[in-house]
């Protein structure tokens, strides 16, 4: 091959690498824009959009609260004429339906956007590939799947809800280093420090519902509201009966199979459910393999015996083969405590294998 052609080929491939690198950087900015509205859009997704004009100037937008503009519309408004010939980076496939707002795919076409880079397709039945198809039909170049793993993680509660009809389940527990959540007399205030407790309030604020067992509601009488951080209060859910004078009132009382409980919460537009205990409820969700994320606040403290209450009340893995093994999705220091986030591979999230004959072990709400 003549050397100038080789050089041209080299330049082309470097150009492609540079474009891919730039695409990744812009998608990272779109994800960050979406995260800024994490607690204000549910049951809609917290989408981020970055529009990069041919001049290189960029404009970003994020989904407004329900009924308001979608991310693309906010970014298009910021870009104005600069959207002509631009590339739009959107974490979620632009919508193609007339919902509370007109279709974003059409708005992108009308604004003269040349190329659209999408993180993940929108599993919402009203969209589901139609947004991408609409853009392509209009001659817009579309690429799907840039930084898709990070977008999947950022939008996980929304994607889980639209794919399964159920919320993403986050189990939160505050524990000593030896895995105990309360003293033998039941006292648990406070195992972790103020920074960890504030973070737990942030978790509540980003959850659409918070669930505790009736025993915990009776014993601890938690308010289950968001304090320490700014945010709206989640729907409060108690498994079993709740005293009319309990601080968690008004709350929804649910009972029965935990799968049915999740279906019911999904129908109520709960994208993320925070399970806050106690140990019996933690065990029933874990044993039924219904936990998507385990968030453990671990204090530098030891009860130092086997009489304090453990994380899970119920039979665990009987042998090493049943160990529920996963990976730390994140490890952080919060004040003097640690915040560990564990995700189990769905397929090997064994834990105690529920015995179908024993209805306390099949995900029944027992508290």
Token couple for 256: 């029965």
Query: Between residues 70 and 204, which has the closer beta carbon with respect to Zn ion?
Result: 70
Cβ-in-10-Å burial (0-12, 13-18, 19+) of 81 comes to exposed
| CB nearer Zn ion, residue 95 or residue 239 | 95
Instruction: Report what 44 binds from Zn ion, ligand AOF, none; CB cut-off 5-8 Å by kind.
Output: ligand AOF
Site string for Zn ion, 57-86 (x = CB under 5 A): -------------x----------------
Give 88 or 211: the residue with its C-beta nearer to ligand AOF.
Answer: 88
Query: Which tokens go with 81?
Result: 């004429």
CA–CA dist 281, 309 (Å, integer): 13
- The residue range among 15-23, 106-114, 120-128, 133-141 that interacts with ligand AOF, by the rule CB under 6 A, is 120-128
Q: Which two tokens stand for residue 169?
A: 């389940």
3-state secondary structure 286-321: HHCCCCCEEEEEEECCCCCCCCCEECCCCCCCCCHH
Q: Is 130 in the site for Zn ion (CB under 5 A)?
A: no
CB 180 to Zn ion: min, Å: 47
Q: Is residue 276 near ligand AOF by the rule CB under 6 A?
A: no
Q: 90: phi > 0 → left, psi -120 to 50 → alpha, else beta; which?
A: beta
Residue 280 engages Zn ion in binding (rule: CB under 5 A): no
- What span, in angstroms and rounded, lies between the C-alpha atoms of 272 and 258? 15
Q: Which of 51, 82, 86, 104 binds ligand AOF (CB under 6 A)?
A: 104
The CA distance from 52 to 29, in Å, is: 11
Is 63 a residue that touches ligand AOF (CB under 6 A)? yes
Q: Which of 244, 220, 223 is nearest to 234 (CA)?
A: 223
- The residue (of 90 and 214) whose beta carbon lies closer to Zn ion is 90
Query: According to CB under 6 A, which one of 70, 130, 147, 280 is a site residue for ligand AOF?
Result: 70
The answer to whether residue 133 forms part of the interface with ligand AOF (CB under 6 A) is no
Task: Select 26 or 364, whichever has its Cβ closest to ligand AOF.
Answer: 26
DSSP-derived letter for residue 99 is S
Q: Hey, is 98 helix, strand or coil? A: coil
User: By three-state DSSP, how is residue 150 classified?
Assistant: helix
Which H or E element spans position 214? Answer: helix 214-220
Per CB under 5 A, 95 contacts Zn ion: yes
Is the C-alpha dihedral spanning 102, 103, 108, 111 positive or negative?
negative
Taking the C-alpha atoms of residue 167 and residue 245, their distance in angstroms, rounded to an integer, is 28
Q: Copy the structure tokens of residue 278.
A: 């106690």
If the CB atoms of residues 34 and 278 are measured against ligand AOF, the closer one turns out to be: 34
Residue 136 interacts, among Zn ion, ligand AOF, none and using kind-specific CB cut-offs from 5 to 8 Å, with none
**Catalytic positions:** 72
Position 99 contacts ligand AOF (CB under 6 A): yes
Q: Indicate whether 104 belongs to the interface with Zn ion (CB under 5 A).
A: yes
200 contact, one of Zn ion, ligand AOF, none, CB 5-8 Å limit per kind: none
Per-residue interface string for the shown chain with ligand AOF, residues 24-53, x marking contact by CB under 6 A: --------------------xx-x------
How many residues of this chain bind Zn ion (CB under 5 A)?
3
The footprint of ligand AOF (CB under 6 A) covers 44-45, 47, 63, 70-72, 92, 94-95, 99-101, 104, 122, 124, 127
């Amino acid at each position: 091959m003549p050397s100038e052609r080789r050089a041209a080929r080299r330049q082309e491939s470097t150009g492609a690498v540079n474009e891919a690198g730039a695409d990744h950087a812009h998608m990272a900015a779109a994800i960050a824009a979406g995260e800024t509205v994490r607690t204000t859009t549910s049951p809609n997704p917290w989408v981020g959009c970055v529009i990069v004009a041919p001049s290189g100037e960029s404009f970003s937008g994020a989904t407004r609260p329900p009924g308001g503009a979608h991310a693309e519309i906010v970014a298009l408004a910021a870009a104005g004429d600069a959207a002509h010939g631009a590339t739009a980076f959107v974490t979620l496939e632009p919508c193609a339906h007339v919902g509370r707002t007109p279709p974003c795919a059409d708005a992108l076409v009308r604004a003269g956007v040349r190329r659209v880079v999408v993180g993940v397709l929108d599993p919402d039945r009203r969209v589901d590939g139609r947004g991408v198809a609409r853009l392509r039909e209009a001659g817009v170049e579309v690429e799907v799947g840039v930084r898709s793993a990070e977008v999947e993680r950022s939008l996980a509660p929304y994607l889980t809800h639209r794919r399964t009809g159920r919320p993403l389940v986050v189990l939160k527990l505050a524990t000593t280093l030896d895995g105990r959540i309360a003293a033998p007399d039941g006292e648990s205030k406070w195992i972790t420090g103020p920074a960890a407790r504030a973070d737990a309030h942030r978790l509540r604020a980003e959850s659409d519902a918070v669930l505790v067992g009736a025993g915990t509601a009776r014993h601890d009488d938690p308010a289950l509201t968001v304090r320490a951080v700014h945010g709206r209060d989640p729907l409060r859910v108690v498994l079993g009966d709740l005293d009319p004078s309990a601080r968690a009132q008004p709350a929804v009382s649910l009972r029965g199979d935990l799968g049915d409980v999740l279906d019911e919460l999904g129908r109520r537009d709960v994208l993320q459910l925070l399970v806050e205990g106690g140990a019996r409820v933690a065990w029933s969700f874990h044993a039924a393999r219904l936990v998507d994320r385990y968030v453990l606040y671990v204090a530098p403290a030891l009860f130092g015996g086997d009489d304090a209450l453990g994380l899970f009340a119920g039979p665990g893995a009987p042998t090493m083969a049943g160990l529920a093994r996963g990976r730390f999705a994140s490890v952080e220091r919060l004040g003097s405590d640690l915040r560990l986030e564990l995700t189990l591979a769905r397929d090997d999230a064994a834990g105690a294998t529920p015995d179908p004959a024993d209805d306390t072990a099949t995900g029944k709400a027992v508290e």
